[in-house]
Structure 1
Amino acid sequence: MATDTEKLTQLRSAVAGLNQISENEKAGFINLVSRYLSGEAQHVEWSKIKTPTDEVVVPYDTLEPVPEDPAVTKDLLDKLVVLKLNGGLGTTMGCTGPKSVIEVRNGLTFLDLIVIQIENLNTKFGCNVPLVLMNSFNTHDDTLKIVEKYTNSNVQIHIFNQSQYPRVVVEDFVPLPCKGQSGKDGWYPPGHGDVFPSLMNSGKLDAFLSQGKEYVFVANSDNLGAIVDLKILNHLIQNKNEYCMEVTPKTLADVKGGTLISYEGKVQLLEIAQVPDEHVNEFKSIEKFKIFNTNNLWVNLNAIERLVQADALKMEIIPNPKEVDGIKVLQLETAAGAAIKFFDHAIGINVPRSRFLPVKATSDLLLVQSDLYTLVDGYVIRNKDRTNPVNPSIELGPEFKKVANFLSRFKSIPSIRELDSLKVTGDVWFGAGVILKGKVTISAAPGEKLEIPDGSVIENKDVNGPEDI
């Protein structure tokens, strides 16, 4: 068996010969692997965990209002860059290409909505908030074509690629591309923790600093709630916070989400993977860990430059085992939220749930396309007529998993304003103008097609056949 030192030496010489990636990428990759092999302590000492105070995780409603002066607003916005993580493909929802081009509502995609929002700010206040898209090699070419349609918009769009690292064969620790895997399967994007070095390596960071930009707002492109918030930006500038993570109260749907803790005098992110087995149930409890990370992050650009140059951002490594053509491979990733502990005066802000509206599956698409939401100026706004602050829980069977199949099974999206939960299994088709209320379960028997007629009102019912409607 090769020792870890031998593995690293062998890997270093193999990676040196990979001409598809830059010297920066090679160095970053070797750095990540050597940290992984050295077995840096990843575990936290459970007894040292403290619940953060309101100084560390600031309640949103205690933030100072921003003066209603357009000049003040323009001044704030001119310090801001908006960065969307755009490396993900829509494969889980049956789409090819970047997930951000899935149509969300009224024929508009995630990207359309983001551009409309920023365009409205720039036009209204005469400011220049640029939009930056961090792509992966999976989404880059498609995104270049897609953004051409925004050429005449009032938004400067910048694009850069996150790093491309080789997958490593578990058996002998050789990069997969060295074994003849020359296609995309030989490579991987190393998680969104890579946003900081990649922003700098792309030259974008220097460019924004030279324009007087101070903060970047980083969010997933599929989170429809991640909109620019002046109160948060103003708070960070006033209090010289270098990093802010938006957190929001956990519901039972979010028990696995990372949470913020105070640990040895610093605020840090605690992920379920770092929790010792005997404490996992405690971690999932809503009583002890009341908040979770939305992955809406606000970070000071000067601080990013300082920490990347010092190679100080050593986020926890997330090993992600995969299989390619029957070969077991390993990809090492990091998460941007884990960087919180390296920044000065880092805080969390406990924001309303409305700032966390991700679309991860077609069940989420059903929510945002329904009468629970309306679209105003590119913003997806929740219907005030819904009294329950929590959205209905929706489970759709595999027949609805792909966007095209999902759309074909609804003549129109049902009204779900008064719905608590919906579970659909089997070959179910919805007519137009259907209204669902309370707790509804709809199950088609195996081999049977179940059609819900136009205009049906289904309230607190288990529907197993036409006779139950």
Structure 2
Amino acid sequence: MSESGLQQARDKMAGAGVSPVAIEVFSHYYRQLEEGATGLIPESTIDPMLEVPQLSDVEISDADAAAALDATVVIKLNGGLGTSMGMDKAKSLLPVRDGKSFLDLIVQQVRSARAATGARLPLLFMNSFRTQSDTLAALAAYPDLAVEGVPLDFLQSKEPKLRADDLTPVDWPADPELEWCPPGHGDLYPSLLGSGVLKALLDQGFTYASVSNADNLGAGPNAQIAGWFAASGAPYAAEVCTRTANDRKGGHLAIRKSDGQLILRDTAMTPDEDMHFFTDEHVHPYFHTNNLWFDLRELDRVLTERDGVLGLPLIKNVKTVDPADSTSPEVIQIESAMGTAVEVFEGATAIAVGRERFLPVKTTNELLLLRSDVYDLGDDGRLTQASAIPAIDLDSGYFKKIDAFEKRFASGAPSLRDATSLTVKGDWTFGSDVRVTGAATLADTGSPERVADGSELSA
């Protein structure tokens, strides 16, 4: 039945116009799946990565840094809809500060880096079939952004969700779009190849790629890292940060015992019995930021050698076909993570960067922080931490979805510069010019409440 299932999936992908490269990559993972692959990496098979070069120790001349940046393309992963926050469009279009979205600030960062260094610095978005049209419409406001010979975006692939019982493509007539899923951001590499963008970049003389999530405004263009990467001669590098107790869910790099190769282990790749090792910041002291650098020439060589199939580790994601309906059929989504490419490139390395390179927004708690005076927004589109970061805990029943969040902070974020924590339980709406000092908690009264304009909240 499974061989029939693979052919059905291949036919479905071809009928939807999915690139031949993406179909072959999917087929590679499908065969792994039917052979029982889980993608799990037991703790007994790895050693922790304990010694990492520090960006703070790097010495690169301004000229070498600028030259490396001029050979670099900035790629932003932009396939997510922000569904966990109740969004139905690209998360990068969400306003962050002063009416500017993630996308606006990313553009501002790139333009500023171009002006400061003279680098061409193309900006490329990897969109999904759900984010492409809205993103390109927003980018139309920047007619001077494109670099000659390089598009502004390329499309991530899509693949059919598979029934968990027989590995055939699921049918869901109630909403046929739910029959499809993105293949994870490991799809970056075959999508660069299959779209023709990799060739276009090489033809225009670009050598390096700097890749990060569109919701991480900390990962702006960095000439110093570009210079370090160029000087290292490495084919691939990952940015990592020192782990704290708050980073226990983040993936980490490790050294595979069998061959000494650097690898990435994520939460979904860790056996349940080893999770206490995974979450221990003393055992694995660095977390993976999902900010990557790679040599475009090396990527082209390896993809050519492997017919477009890098062979990244499989991630088996079990869900229901309709995420909002737990009674809908159980499906398997075949995924891979772009950071696992670290094990494909011999000589791959890592560099430890400051926390300012990692400002992701996965929840409205983090969005509130970026909108507050904890961060200053510069003319270069970068956010600079202005005070200690307080712990934010907003009641998910009232603040998790972006519409509900916006309604309750319609007058803007409160001042958090003097806060150590803000905990909100229940249905609270914030007035204007609210200030939080110390550790403040709002209790659930069972009724909607309002924080009056000009209030000060404290312990």
Same-fold call, TM cutoff 0.5: yes
User: For 2:298 and 2:262, how far apart are their aligned partners in 1?
Assistant: 17
Q: CA deviation at 1:13?
A: 4.8
Contact 1:58 1:347 survives alignment (8 Å): no
1:168 maps onto 2:162 in alignment: yes
Q: Which has the larger radius of gyration?
A: 1
Corresponding position of 2:231: 238
1:347 maps onto 2:357 in alignment: no
Corresponding position of 1:450: 449
- Letter of the 2:449 counterpart: L
Corresponding position of 1:202: 195
Corresponding residue to 1:159 among 127, 144, 153:
153
Relative to structure 1, is the Cα distance of residues 92 and 275 closer, same or farther in structure 2, using a 3 angstrom cutoff?
closer
Corresponding residue to 2:105 among 105, 109, 113:
113
- Letter of the 1:313 counterpart: L
User: For 2:140 and 2:162, how far apart are their aligned partners in 1?
Assistant: 36
Corresponding residue to 1:95 among 76, 80, 87:
87
Corresponding position of 1:419: 419
Corresponding residue to 2:17 among 18, 21, 39:
21
1:459 maps onto 2:451 in alignment: no
Matches within 5 A, 1:356-395: 356-384=358-386, 386=387, 388=388, 391-395=389-393
Corresponding residue to 2:57 among 51, 62, 82:
62
Corresponding residue to 1:39 among 36, 41, 61:
36
- Letter of the 1:422 counterpart: L
Corresponding position of 1:8: 3
Relative to structure 1, is the Cα distance of residues 14 and 432 closer, same or farther in structure 2, using a 3 angstrom cutoff?
closer
How many percent identity over aligned positions?
Answer: 36
Q: CA deviation at 1:257?
A: 1.1
User: For 2:186 and 2:360, how far apart are their aligned partners in 1?
Assistant: 19
Aligned residue pair count? 444
Relative to structure 1, is the Cα distance of residues 26 and 394 closer, same or farther in structure 2, using a 3 angstrom cutoff?
same
Corresponding position of 2:400: 401
Corresponding residue to 1:146 among 138, 151, 162:
138
Q: How far does the alpha carbon of each residue in 1:40-89 deviate from its partner, in whole angstroms, 9 at most, with x for none?
A: 473445344223253xx21221211x3234xx444222210000000000
User: For 2:383 and 2:280, how far apart are their aligned partners in 1?
Assistant: 30
Matches within 5 A, 1:248-397: 248-264=241-257, 265-311=260-306, 313-324=310-321, 326-384=328-386, 386=387, 388=388, 391-397=389-395
Q: How far does the alpha carbon of each residue in 1:322-379 deviate from its partner, in whole angstroms, 9 at most, with x for none?
A: 2235222211000001110111221111111111001112111110111111111243
1:221 maps onto 2:214 in alignment: yes
- Letter of the 2:421 counterpart: S
Q: Which moved more, 1:75-84 or 1:22-31?
A: 22-31
Relative to structure 1, is the Cα distance of residues 167 and 232 closer, same or farther in structure 2, using a 3 angstrom cutoff?
same
User: For 2:373 and 2:138, how far apart are their aligned partners in 1?
Assistant: 29
Identify which of structures 1 and 2 has the higher relative contact order when contacts are C-alpha pairs closer than 8 Å and 6+ apart: 2
Corresponding position of 2:435: 435
- Letter of the 2:67 counterpart: D
- Letter of the 2:345 counterpart: F
Scaled by the length of structure 2, the TM-score of the pair is 0.91
Contact 1:216 1:299 survives alignment (8 Å): yes
Q: How far does the alpha carbon of each residue in 1:24-51 deviate from its partner, in whole angstroms, 9 at most, with x for none?
A: 3322221210122223473445344223
Q: CA deviation at 1:251?
A: 2.0
Q: Which moved more, 1:44-53 or 1:161-170?
A: 44-53
User: For 2:210 and 2:163, how far apart are their aligned partners in 1?
Assistant: 36
- Letter of the 2:224 counterpart: K
Contact 1:122 1:154 survives alignment (8 Å): no
- Letter of the 2:440 counterpart: V
Relative to structure 1, is the Cα distance of residues 273 and 125 closer, same or farther in structure 2, using a 3 angstrom cutoff?
closer
Q: How far does the alpha carbon of each residue in 1:371-419 deviate from its partner, in whole angstroms, 9 at most, with x for none?
A: 11111124333344x2x4xx21111112122333323323232111121
Relative to structure 1, is the Cα distance of residues 408 and 16 closer, same or farther in structure 2, using a 3 angstrom cutoff?
closer
Relative to structure 1, is the Cα distance of residues 30 and 153 closer, same or farther in structure 2, using a 3 angstrom cutoff?
closer
Q: Which runs of 5+ in 1 are unaligned?
A: 1-5, 461-469
Relative to structure 1, is the Cα distance of residues 100 and 308 closer, same or farther in structure 2, using a 3 angstrom cutoff?
same
User: For 1:27 and 1:266, how far apart are their aligned partners in 2?
Assistant: 26
SS in 1 for 2:124: strand
Q: CA deviation at 1:159?
A: 1.0
User: For 1:400 and 1:45, how far apart are their aligned partners in 2?
Assistant: 37
Q: Which runs of 5+ in 2 are unaligned?
A: 323-327
Q: CA deviation at 1:118?
A: 0.9
User: For 2:273 and 2:321, how far apart are their aligned partners in 1?
Assistant: 33
SS in 1 for 2:382: strand
Contact 1:439 1:459 survives alignment (8 Å): yes
Relative to structure 1, is the Cα distance of residues 76 and 142 closer, same or farther in structure 2, using a 3 angstrom cutoff?
same
Q: How far does the alpha carbon of each residue in 1:154-176 deviate from its partner, in whole angstroms, 9 at most, with x for none?
A: 76652111111111122332212
Q: CA deviation at 1:201?
A: 0.6
Contact 2:65 2:224 survives alignment (8 Å): no
Q: Which moved more, 1:327-336 or 1:164-173?
A: 164-173
- Letter of the 2:17 counterpart: I
SS in 2 for 1:149: coil
- Letter of the 2:443 counterpart: S
